[in-house]
Amino acid sequence: MVFDKKKHQAIIDQVEDYIAEHKDTVKQHHWREHYHYQAPVGWINDPHGLIQYQGKYHLFYQHHPFSGKWGTMHWGHAVSEDLIHWETLPEALAPSEEYDGWDGGGIFTGSAVNNDGVMTLFYTGCAQARQVQCMATSTDGINFEKYDGNPILSDPPEGINLHDFRDPKVWKHEGSWYMVTGVTDGVSDLINASNYETNGFGKVCLHKSDNLTDWEFVGYCVESMGELGTMLECPNIFKLGDKHVLMYSPMGMQQRQVVYLVGDLDYRTGKFHWSTMGSLDWGFDYYAPQVFDDENGRTLIQAWIGSWPFMPWCDGTYDTSELGWYGSITLAREVSLCHDGKLKFTPVQEVEKLRHSPKRHTELELNDGEKFAFEAGDNVHCEIIADIDLAASDCDSVVFEIRSKGEQKTLIELDLKKGELAFDRTQSGSRSALRRTCPLECASKDRANIRIFMDSISVEVFTDGGRTVMTNNIFSDEDSAGLYVYAKNGNVRIETLKTFGMKSVAE
């Protein structure tokens, strides 16, 4: 089937006209982010195709431009020179084929490579009867043409559900190209995303190619019996030091949105032999991260700040959907491997460009329940860094109370007695009013550090030296802006509390 360039461009033009008509209204709302990337209009989810090409960082993302709800997916596109200031470009890919063709049912998550100067995109095309893997290319990083020979990979291994064969991540190793995809051997239905179910066991497939168009199945990297998830979405394999990391977003694992496995990949058999398992982020609203390497030698990762309607804490409705948009993208994080095989995540240094109005408090001695009020820019778009002397403290918990006014507040709690980090949005104003906890390593140590990035709705929390991270959305009133820190059941000594306002980079 030959790619119809004019038809594809006509759909993109329709999207751009819709965005131009609605973006000024959308950007006025106080829940629009100031320094986290959002599409100007519409629903977004998975970031993908992350690559540094011709000196610029490229961010593609799942985009339904015509409403704030999940729908027929397009590929949105933005570029940046510093990972902070993003310029939205026209849609890169749109579903231009018939519903029973390559991608008429939507264009799902994929990846990008630089193939001898040609930016080459890989994506999942949704046809009526199946999901297939497709390819598109560009020599300028802006205008893309779908490959006339699509799909490049139409058949999953025998026994795999044809509706669950997606999210190709492609990379080069020793002269050959490799692709991982997420699959399941169960029965599922993605026609209605608000009622998605899968009843099988998730797997990660590995395929190999010498030319990017002809692919052979190598083997399954991992095969879940339920313990690794029922569907392993958005798999990535990448190398850190002398180890490989496999990460994916599992369905059927409740509080684990994104899992990483550290071990060794056998390229001959496709088997991934792992020894360490962890969570990239413990928050409600962190999904589908993708990894890429930049020209500075950093391994970087970005993810969707949002949540699916089939998650157990989501009732299928979203706080901003009726406003014509939903979803944002995390700050870029650098990934590194710790001595014990676990991963740690550090916000890229470029984010410090946004700081203003610095404030610093030292040697704070807070008694049981005594709230210390502090300022951080406008108290909504800010960064908070605290170093806590646990050896000189005897409290059960240290609590940061943010976006506080009257009955409305959000709590970030270092529970030293239970050894947990807790994020409590039961009183934040969000529809999903829940509390989540995860293990806190520093609870048994002499010192603790916490770094919090707050934007209009997103909150990214880093502790345990970046080994423990939580990302969540909160939808608080515009004037809920109080900031406090206090101890529970004892006293706390905070050696330093540093705060910064954060400049807006919104287009």
Enumerate the active-site residues: 46
**Order of all β-strands in the sheet with 468-473:** 355-366, 492-502, 382-389, 447-454, 458-463, 468-473
DSSP 271-329: -EEEEEEEEEE-SSS-EEEEEEE-TTS-EEEEEEE---TTSTT--S--TTGGGTEE-EE
Q: What CA–CA distance (Å, rounded) separates 134 from 15?
A: 22
Q: How far apart are CA 465 and CA 442, in angstroms?
A: 9
| CA atoms of 460 and 384, how far apart (whole Å) | 11
5 phi/psi in degrees, rounded to 5: -65, -40
Between CA 154 and CA 103 the distance in angstroms is 12
Are 343 and 335 contacting, i.e. CB atoms less than 8 angstroms apart?
yes
Contacts for 142 with CB less than 8 Å, ≥ 6 apart: 77, 89, 90
- Alpha carbons 91 and 66: distance in angstroms, whole number: 13
Residues in the chain: 507
Tell me which residue of 167, 169, 197 sits closest to 45, measured CA to CA: 167
H or E element in which residue 429 lies? none
Q: Which residues contact 188 (CB under 8 A, 6 or more apart)?
A: 161, 163, 164, 196, 197, 198, 199, 200, 231
| DSSP-derived pairing of the beta strands 272-281 and 287-293 | unpaired
The torsion region of residue 330 among left (phi > 0), alpha (psi -120 to 50) and beta comes to beta
**Number of H-type helices and E-type strands within the chain:** 1, 34
